[in-house]
Amino acid sequence: MPADLSPLIAATAQWLTRAYPSDGGAMDSALCEAQARQAVTVAAWLRYPSPMDAALVSVAGPGGSARLDWVSGADGTAAGDDPDTYAWRTWVDEVVASWAACLLSAPALAAAAVAALAGSPEADAPAVEFRRLVTPDARDRRAAALLRHPDLLAPVAELHHERLLDRLKPGPALTA
């Protein structure tokens, strides 16, 4: 994974797991986070396919979570809270979160997205696998019931669903 996308991936995955938390214990929370991170990683690699794209988003910033908070009804920063506590929210990428929501709620789309990454330097690394995203087992699905619920994810997924479908069409890859 390009180091430039690490803060974006971490913040966006954290936003997803806070907006759609696991209702189980520590193991379920970890499984939920793993699924969110895999979905966000695939979405980020699709959205920023080149090192230049990753560098540009690192310089310009991804935009933050304000619109996502509003659309999903998730808690943003409360009045009077220390802004440093919520600084990570500035690294949330709305498009990546929307694409990740699409991938989490549609297994066939997730498989197509992972297949679209075939041949990319990031996806060809030996330790990269997206099993929890593409073929979650019963424990994974139970741990991330809210995170994978299509009706709950719909407001976020619909924000940029068409752009994801365009990105997955065969042909030359265009930057987002």
Per-residue pLDDT reduced to its tens digit, 28-63 = 999 999 999 999 999 999 999 999 999 999 999 899
- Please report, in angstroms and rounded to a whole number, the separation of the first and last CA atoms in the chain: 18
pLDDT value at position 4? Answer: 83
Closest CA to 21 of 173, 112, 121, 144: 144
What number is the average pLDDT over the span 82-98? 90
pLDDT value at position 1? Answer: 44
Tokens of 61: 């910033």
Amino acid at 124: D
Alpha-carbon distance 122 to 145, whole Å?
28
Question: Given a cut of 60, is residue 144 above it in pLDDT?
Answer: yes
Contact predicate 64/142, CB 8 Å = no
Contact predicate 49/175, CB 8 Å = yes
Most confident of 4-18, 82-96, 111-125: 4-18
Contact predicate 147/104, CB 8 Å = yes
Q: Considering only residues 3 and 114, tell me which one the structure prediction assigns the higher pLDDT.
A: 114
pLDDT value at position 79? Answer: 47
Q: Considering only residues 79 and 18, tell me which one the structure prediction assigns the higher pLDDT.
A: 18
Contact predicate 77/86, CB 8 Å = yes
The Cα-based distances of 1 to 68, 102, 120, 126 in angstroms read: 25, 21, 10, 12
Write out the E strands in the chain.
none
Amino acid at 149: H
Q: What is the mean pLDDT of the chain?
A: 90
Alpha-carbon distance 69 to 96, whole Å?
14
